[in-house]
């Protein structure tokens, strides 16, 4: 075991299921003096932290009213403070630290103070959902590119939005994070751009957890389907020509599937 005093590990916890946590992250949690974790980290994963380690929830939730820049500055200061005290700090982030996770900002803050930073990847929710639901986001001779984006797509410039449209038109799927608030606006922009009304959409709520939900539909009608369902965040959206699950794991009448229904079909 290496001496980790004064080191900060920025680790990806994956989408939520503790069995999707990497062995390396598990080892780091067991060695930690303090764990600074996101609010989306599951209780099952937090139970893996030793009882004598300090755990601090530094996460944000949608609509919590926090100034996110100041919040990030506080997290950076906490990591630096613990490291300078000679403690081993694990910054545990949902998904993957470098996929819409501000991981690089935290690395830079540590480097500026001369503090060693280790980064351990995690399974990002978009790839976890694609695998678990067998959504073919890439496939030989069919789909050769893939776009990850956030709900900020709703306010993309004309040039940025044209890039998204070009990928969708040539068959590349879009995997979108943090898009629930702006999803209706995004759908309307895509329809206004004359994308096919039958373009496939899959929406996955609470990826990998026991209450995971899946909604599927077409671009023209998905907004109505969403309004009829109670969808809990976090949510990942799949939009594109090949974004329905390979297996028919959804109800043909409602386009809705909960985890228990899925298990009965398997």
Q: Give the catalytic positions in this structure.
A: 38, 60, 178
The dihedral region occupied by 139, where left means phi > 0, alpha psi between -120 and 50, and beta the remainder, is beta
Distance CA 60, CA 178 (A): 13
The packing angle between helices 183-192 and 158-169, to 10°, is 70
**Spatial contact of 46 and 13, defined as CB atoms under 8 Å apart:** no
Helix ranges, the chain (H): 23-31, 43-46, 68-84, 103-112, 125-132, 158-169, 183-192, 222-228, 259-265
Which residues have C-beta within 8 Å of that of residue 2, sequence separation ≥ 6? none
Distance CA 46, CA 59 (A): 14
Question: How many CA atoms does the CB half-sphere of 119 hold within 13 Å?
Answer: 16
* Nearest partner of 75 among 38, 22, 118, judged by Cα: 38
């Amino acid at each position: 075991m290496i001496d980790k005093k004064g080191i900060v590990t920025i680790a990806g916890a994956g989408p939520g299921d503790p069995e999707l946590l990497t062995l390396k992250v598990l080892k780091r949690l067991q060695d930690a003096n303090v764990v600074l974790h996101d609010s989306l980290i599951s209780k099952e994963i937090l139970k893996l932290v030793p009882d004598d380690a300090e755990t601090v929830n530094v996460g944000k939730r949608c609509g919590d009213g926090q100034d996110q820049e100041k919040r990030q500055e506080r997290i950076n200061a906490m990591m630096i403070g613990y490291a300078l005290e000679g403690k081993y700090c694990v910054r545990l982030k949902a998904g993957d630290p470098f996929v819409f996770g501000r991981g690089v900002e935290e690395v830079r803050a540590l480097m500026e103070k001369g503090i060693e930073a280790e980064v351990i990847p995690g399974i990002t929710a978009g790839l976890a959902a694609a695998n678990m639901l067998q959504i073919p986001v890439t496939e030989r001779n069919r789909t050769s590119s893939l776009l990850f984006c956030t709900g900020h797509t709703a306010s993309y410039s004309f040039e940025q939005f044209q890039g998204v449209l070009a990928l969708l038109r040539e068959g590349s799927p879009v995997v979108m994070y943090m898009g629930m608030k702006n999803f209706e606006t995004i759908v309307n922009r895509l329809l206004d751009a004359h994308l096919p009304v039958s373009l496939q959409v899959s929406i996955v709520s609470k990826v990998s957890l026991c209450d995971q939900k899946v909604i599927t539909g077409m671009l023209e009608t998905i907004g109505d389907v969403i309004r009829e369902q109670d969808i809990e965040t976090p949510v990942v959206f799949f939009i594109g020509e090949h974004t329905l699950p390979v297996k028919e794991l959804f109800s043909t009448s409602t386009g809705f599937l909960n985890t228990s229904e899925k298990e009965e079909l398997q």
